[in-house]
Amino acid sequence: MLSDSMARSLNSHLNTEHFSAQLYLSMSSAAGVMGFKGAATWFMVQYQEEMAHFMKFYGYLNSQGVLVRFVAADIPNDYHSLLEMFEKTLTHEQHITKAINHLMDQAVQESDHASQIFLQWFITEQIEEEENDRDIIGKLKLIGDNGYGLLMLDTELGTRVFVPPATTA
Ligand code: FEO
From atom 1 of ligand 1, which residue's Cα is the shortest distance away? 50
CA 87 to chain CA centroid, Å, is: 13
Model-level pTM? 0.96
Any atom of ligand 1 within 6 Å of the Cβ of 103: no
All structural domains of the chain, each given as residue ranges with its CATH number in brackets, are 4-157 (1.20.1260.10)
User: What local confidence, expressed as pLDDT, does residue 90 receive?
Assistant: 98
Q: How far apart are CA 108 and CA 106, in angstroms?
A: 5
For residue 96 and ligand 1, the question of a CB distance below 6 A is answered with: yes
Quick: pLDDT tens for 96-123: 999 999 999 999 999 999 999 999 999 9
For residue 123, the one-letter residue type is: I
Q: What letter represents residue 81's amino acid? A: S
Query: Residue 154: CB within 6 Å of ligand 1?
Result: no
Q: What is the mean pLDDT of residues 84-97?
A: 98
Helices (H), the chain: 4-34, 37-63, 82-109, 113-143, 147-157
Predicted pLDDT at 167: 63
> What does the mean pLDDT of the chain come to?
97
What's the rounded Cα separation, in Å, for the pair 38 and 43? 9
